[in-house]
Chain A
C-alpha cells in the first residue's frame, strides 16, 4: 500500500491544430495511473495551453508503482463528437522509487501518437512519497537500482557481485488478438505500447525481488529484450548481474582515515575501497610470511590458455527426442616468432593485486573432470546453506589443498570455487570489471538452439492450435515455464562449456533470439573465465542478508590478507611474481589436458605462464591489459541460402546449417584477425538471423594485439593443383597481396612490438636464466612438442571432429584455394576496405591505444534495408551483397563523420535482420568520439600520468580539505568519492600500468567529487535567478534547469542531452545515476509516400525516439544517457497499401555529468567559500 504518487500538469506548447475551423485546439489532459484517472479542465482555443492543474494524487501499492507507467493523454475537447486524442506520454516512475536516483520528474515531454509522431509537448511534474515497507513477503522491490551499464557504474563501488539474475514475462500480443479485426491498428499499437511498458515494469520488479533475495541492491548489466513471437505471444525477458553497490561516499571517511594512517602508498590503500570497513581490523591478524611463498608457488601452477570459440548448437524442437547437442570446438594455433616485450616496469602493487587466485593444477583437473555432459550437469536448484556451513566447508577443503598452497590461500580459492560452483549459473553480464576481479579468460563459449514456437507453448495441449479459443489466463501460468526451460537448457550448456575450459564462471554473458515465423533461434554466449573471490559472495542464499554479507566480508578480508602479505613480499623483491597486465591471458585450463587443440607459448609479458596464440572474448579490453598499437573493428559476414520450409522440417534445416555458419564465421574472423597482424578479439558478438530463404551471420569484434600473446604469423596460401604454372603464379600473386596487406595493416594500427627484451631488472632477476635463453634463442616454442590430450568427449565425439574448427591447424593459417569458395573467401578478405585516414573503429567501449579523447561526441543510428532483386542467388552472390552492404554502410558513416577526424567509432553495434524474403536490414548504433591527435599513444599515457601526478601533488596539499568537508556532510550522497575501480575507468591514465597512483587517485577523486558537489550547488544557485527571469515559462525550478549549461541556446529551454552507448563520457565525470531508461515505441503510417517514403518515415521516427529519450532524461534532471542501446528495430512496410510500421526499443542509464574542465574552474571559488566548513570539520 505504501506510496503516494503525485502528478501535476502544468502546460502544453506547440500543440497541433485540431479544429480546422478556428485553427486552434481545446485541449485537456487525462492523467491515469492503474485504474484511477484524473482530468484537467479544458483550456479552450489555444495551441499553448496553461492548465496549471492541482496535484493529482494516487495512493497505490509500491508493487503497482513499479509495474505501471503514469499515462498522460492529451485530448481535444469536442462538444458534439467524441474527444480526439492528440497523443500520449508514458512516464516510467521507477527512477523516483530509489532514494538515490531522481527526486522529481519535471519537464517538457513530447506528446506522442503512433500515427502522427510527436505532436507538441506537455510540461508535467511528478513526485512520489514512498513509505518504507519492511514486509519480507512483499512483492515489490523498490530501491533496487538498475543499470544498463555492463561494468560497475562510475560513482559506485562493488561490495559484492552476487551473480546472475534472470526473469521473463509472457503475454499475448495485442496486435495478434482476434479483436484486431474490429479495432484500428492504432488502437492495437497503443495497447501494445501500454502492455510492454507494463510488462517491463513487472519484469524489473521481479528481477528486483530476486536481487533482494540474494542480498544485493542493484542490477548491473541489465539487458531486457522483447521477443515478438507473433501469434504465440510476446515475451519480455531480462538478464543482469546482481550486485551490492555502495555509493562511493559511504566508506569515504574510513578510507581517508586509512590513507592517513598509511604513510606509504601501500597495497592496503588500494584495496580499501573493496573492503568493508569492518574488514580492516581483521587484516592485521594473519601475517605469516608462509602465505606469500605459497601463493607464489601456486602461481607457478597456473596454466595455459585457449582462444577458442566453444560453441554448441542444438535442435530441440519438440519432435526431436531429447537434446541433440552439436558442439564446435576449435583450436587455432600457429607458429609465431615470440616477440618479447616488456610492458614497462611492472609495478609492485599491481602485481600483488593480481596474484590472488591463479588456478592450481588440482583445480584445473577438477574442472576438467567436472566437464560433464549436459545431462550430467546438475540442474541445480539453488543450494541453501546455513550461514555457518560455508565456513566449515572451507576449512575442510583448505586442509586438502594445503600441499600446494598455503591453507589460507587454498581456503580462499576453495571459497571462490565453491561459491561460484554452487551457483546455478555463475554468469555475469558484465563486460568490464573491477581491477583484479578477472583472473583468467578461457575463451568464448556459446550455445544456440532452434525452437518451434507454436508447438512448445503448452505441452499438455499437444500440437493443436486450439488453445487460442481457450481462456488465455489458464496458459499464462505455464507459459513462462516453457520459455524458462528453453533458456535453462541453453545456460546449462554454456556452463558446461565453461567448465570444459577449466573455468568456473562466464563473463560478458548475453542472450538473444532471432525469430522467423514459427522458428526461433535462441543464442547465448559469453566468455569463460576464472574470477577472483573478492567480490563474489558465497552460494548461500540466505534471507538474512546481513549475515551472509558478513561472511562475505570475512572472505574479503581473507583475500585482503593474502594480498597484504604479498605486499610485504613485494618489498622483499618478489614483486614480479605476476605482472598484472597479462594475468587474464594465461590459460585457465590444464596444459596437459586441454579441452581443444591450441598452441601455447609462454606469456610475452611475464614469461612464466602459458598463453594461447589467439584469444577470443566477449568482454571489453580489461583496463590493465597491455595492448600494442591500436585496435580495429573486425567483422565476419555470411549469408547462407536456405530452402523455404515449414515447421519441423524448417527447424531441422536451420539447425543443420547453423554449425557450418558458425564455423565459417569463425574462420573468417580468424583470417581477418591475422590479416591485421593482431592476436586477440574482444567484444565478440555473433548474430545469426533467420529469414524464410536465408540465414545471415554477422560476427563483430574488436581486434587488438595483446602484448602478452605471441605475434601472429602471416597467412599462407596453398593450391591443390601444384603443376599448373599459371596457377602457381596466381597463388604467389595472391600471397604477395596478402603479405602486403598485413604489412600495411601493421603500420596502420601501429603494431610494432619491440624486438628486444627490455624487462626491468627486477623482473629479469627473478626469471630463470635458462628460461630466458630459451625464449630468446627460439622464440617459437615448438608447437607439437607438447603432447596434446584431447578432452575426453562422451558426447558424440565424432561430431566434434567433424566440426573441429581447427582444421587448418596442421599448417597454421594455410588457406587452400582449391575451390571457388576459398577464392571467394580470400577475395572478400582483401576487399575489406581499410578505415579512411584519421578514423578508427571498434565495438568495445574504448579503443586501446587512444587515450586523449576530446569532448567531441556524436551518437548515431543508421539503418539500411537492402532488397535482393534476384531470389535465386548463390551463397557467394549473397555473401558479396551482404558484405558490400556492411562495407558501404561503414564507408557512409566515415564520410558522414569526416568533420570529426581524428576520431574513433566506438561501440559499433550492428543488428542484422531479415524482415522479409528478399530484404536484408542492417541497423548500426555507435558513437563517434574525436581525440587529440597531437599527443597520441605513448605521449598520451605520459601526459595522462603527468596530469595524474599533478593531481596528486595538488591533492597532497589539499588533503585536509575533503576530509573536513566529509565530516561536515557525511549524509550527503554526493559528498565524496572513494574507490579505485570506479576511478580507474574514466581516467586515461588508468591504463598506464602503474597502480601505485591509485591510492592517490582515490583521494583525488574524493576531493574532486567534493568540489563537484559544490560546483553543482553554486551553479544551481546562479541559474535560479536566471530562471526566475523567464516569467513566460511555467516550468518550476527543477534540476534540469540547474544543469542547463551555457552551451544551450540563450532563448531555449532545452537541456542539451548527450547520448552514448559507452558507460562514460570522455572528459567528464558522472556524478549521479538517475535511473534506467527503457522505452518502447511503435510508429505507423498510412500515408507512407506523403511522409517521404520508407526512409523519411524511419528517419523521423528515429529522430523522435531520440527526442523522447532526451526529454525523459532532462525531466529526471539529467544531461546524458550512457550505455544507450537500440535493442530492437523492427520495420515492416507495405508500399502497395502505402503503409508502414516500425517498432523500436531503446534503453540506457540517465546520468548527470560534469565536465572536468568545469571542475577545474571551480576549486578557487569553492575553497574561498569554504573556510567556514573547514573550521567545522576540525574534529575529524
Chain B
C-alpha cells in the first residue's frame, strides 16, 4: 500500500519560503522533512509526517520545474506555465542567486571552469555546504559571467537587468565576475582573514576607477578588464622611488604633515621609504598579468603587514595614506598627477578596507 502519485498544482503557484531555502541549500526531501519537523510546523498546523513529506516533495518538484526559468530570470516574468506574483518572483530569483560567503571565498578569483567545478566536492567538505548547493552557486557565477562577458555597458547594470537582481546582489556578482576574469589570488593563507565583502568592496573600487569603462563607457569588456593604458601609465610612477631626491622630498613633506598627529610617527618615518617603494612597485608591475593576480597579496605583504607589525591603527593608516597621496601633488618635478590620483584613490580605499585591526 503506497501513494503512487501525489500532486498539487495551484493556479497561483504555492511556494513556501522556508522549503525553498531548504531546497536551495541542497537538502534531500527526507532531510528537509526532518528540518521542518524540528522547526515545529507540524504542531502549528496539526500536520502529520506524511502530510509534511507530501508537501515537501511537491514543493521540491515545483522548484525543480522552475529551476530552468530561474536560470534565465527574464523568462520567469514572461512564461505562462507558472502564475507567480511579481513579489514572489523577485524573492525566488534573489534567493536562487544568493550565495554563501564561505563558498564564494573558496572560488573567488578562480577560473570558472569545469576543472574548478570538479573540485567542488572538496569545497563542499571544507565549508559544510552541500555539494548540490555548491554546484548551484558555482553555476550561477558561471552563467552570470558568460552572459555579461559579451555585453557592453556598465557591469553592475547589466547584471541587474539580465538577472533581475537587487542592487547589492548585482554588485556582488560584478565583483565575482571581475575577480574571476582577472583571476585575482584570494586563497593564500595571508588573505584568509579577508571576507568576501572586503574583496567585493575592492572590486567595486577597481571597476569604478581602473577599468576602461571608468573612462569611456561604451567600450566592450570595459568593466571586466583593467584599463591597459592606465596600467602602462602606472610605470611612470616609478620615478617616485627611483629618483632619490623626489623620494626624500616626498618623505619630508609627509613627515611635516604627520608630525604630532599620531603616536606611531616614528615608525612612519622609518618605514616611509619601504612603504612607498612597496606601493609604487605594485603599480609599476601591474602590466604583468601575473602581478595583477597577486595584487591583493602584494598589498598585504608590502603595506598592511608592515603597518600591522608597527601597530598602526586604521586612523593612522588613513592619515598616512592621505598625506602620502596629497604630498605627491606638491612635488614640483612629479608630472603624473592624474595617474597618481587614479591609482592612489583605489589603493587607499582598498587598504583601508583590508586593514582589519
Contact = CB atoms under 8 A, between A and B. Distances in A.
A899 B88 CA distance: 14
Contact of B80 (A108, A897, A921, A1051): A108
Contacts of B46: 836
A893 B9 CA distance: 11
Nearest to B82: A1103
Interface residues on B, range: 35 or more
Interface string A1044-1068: 0001111111101111000000000
A1050 B86 contact: yes
Contacts of A897: 14
Interface stretch (B54-62, B321-329, B348-356): B54-62
Contacts of B125: none
B87 to A, nearest CB: 9
Contact of A869 (B2, B51, B79): B2
Contact of A862 (B8, B62, B164): B8
A864 B5 contact: yes
B113 interface: no
B6 interface: yes
A803 interface: no
Interface in B1-58: 1-14, 16, 44-48, 50-52, 54-55, 57-58
B164 to A, nearest CB: 8
Interface stretch (A652-660, A742-750, A1105-1113): A1105-1113
A108 B79 CA distance: 10
Interface residues of A, number: 61
B77 A892 contact: no
A1051 B46 CA distance: 40
Contact of A860 (B9, B16, B85): B9
B320 to A, nearest CB: 49
B253 to A, nearest CB: 55
A13 B80 CA distance: 12
Contacts of A1104: 81
A858 B48 contact: no
A861 B57 contact: no
Given A859-B11, A862-B9, A891-B51, A1056 B83 contact: yes
B64 interface: yes
A863 interface: yes
B219 interface: no
Given A1049-B86, A1051-B77, A1095-B57, A896 B65 contact: no
Contacts of B61: 1092, 1095-1096, 1099
Nearest to B65: A1100
Given A865-B5, A892-B51, A121 B10 contact: no
A1110 B80 contact: yes
Contacts of A858: 10-12, 14
A866 B3 contact: yes
Given A14-B75, A919-B4, A1099 B81 contact: no
A919 B5 CA distance: 10
A81 B264 CA distance: 82
Interface string A857-880: 011111111111110000000000
Contact of A895 (B5, B11, B47, B86): B47
Contacts of B75: 14
Contacts of B65: 1096, 1099-1100, 1103
Contacts of A1131: 5
A110 interface: yes
B315 interface: no
A1092 B55 CA distance: 16
A1098 interface: yes
Interface in A509-558: none
Contacts of B79: 14, 1054
Nearest to B81: A1107
Interface string A904-922: 0000000000000001010
Contacts of A574: none
A869 B2 CA distance: 7
B7 A1102 contact: yes
A468 interface: no
Interface string B57-77: 110011011000000001101
B78 interface: yes
A1106 B4 contact: no
B55 A896 contact: yes
Given A858-B14, A895-B47, A1092-B64, A1106 B6 contact: no
B11 A1106 contact: yes
A1094 interface: yes
B15 to A, nearest CB: 10
A634 interface: no
B9 A1099 contact: yes
A1095 B83 contact: no
A261 B23 CA distance: 68
Contacts of B164: 1051
A1108 B7 CA distance: 19
Nearest to A881: B1
A1180 B55 CA distance: 62
A1153 B276 CA distance: 73
A892 B12 contact: no
Contacts of B77: 1049, 1051-1052, 1054
A1096 B66 CA distance: 12
Given A868-B1, A892-B8, A1049-B86, A1099 B80 contact: no
Q: Which of B12, B44, B89 has the most chain A CB atoms inside 10 A of its CB?
A: B12
B356 to A, nearest CB: 41
A1107 B13 CA distance: 11
A1094 B83 CA distance: 22
A473 B285 CA distance: 90
A450 B75 CA distance: 51
B140 to A, nearest CB: 21
B143 to A, nearest CB: 16
A797 interface: no
A765 interface: no
A1073 interface: no
Q: Which of B10, B12, B48, B52 has the most chain A CB atoms inside 10 A of its CB?
A: B10
Interface string A420-440: 000000000000000000000
Contacts of A1051: 74, 77-78, 164
Contact of A1107 (B58, B80, B86): B80
Contacts of A893: 8
B14 A1102 contact: no
A869 B86 CA distance: 44
Interface string B109-150: 000000000000000000000000000000000000000000
A810 interface: no
A13 B74 CA distance: 13
A633 interface: no
A336 to B, nearest CB: 32
Interface string A264-280: 00000000000000000
A894 interface: yes
Contact of A1053 (B45, B54, B78): B78
21 contacts: A121-B80, A859-B10, A860-B14, A862-B7, A863-B6, A865-B6, A866-B4, A867-B3, A895-B47, A898-B44, A1047-B85, A1049-B86, A1058-B11, A1092-B64, A1094-B4, A1095-B5, A1095-B57, A1103-B81, A1103-B82, A1107-B81, A1107-B82
Interface of B: 1-14, 16, 44-48, 50-52, 54-55, 57-58, 61-62, 64-65, 74-75, 77-83, 85-86, 89, 164
Interface of A: 13-14, 108, 110, 118, 121, 836, 858-870, 881, 888, 891-899, 919, 921, 1047-1054, 1056-1059, 1092, 1094-1096, 1098-1100, 1102-1104, 1106-1108, 1110-1111, 1131
Given A13-B78, A861-B9, A867-B4, 13 more contacts: A861-B7, A864-B7, A865-B3, A866-B3, A896-B10, A899-B16, A1052-B77, A1056-B83, A1095-B57, A1098-B5, A1103-B13, A1104-B81, A1107-B81
**3 closest residue pairs by CB, A with B:** A865-B5, A1049-B86, A1052-B77
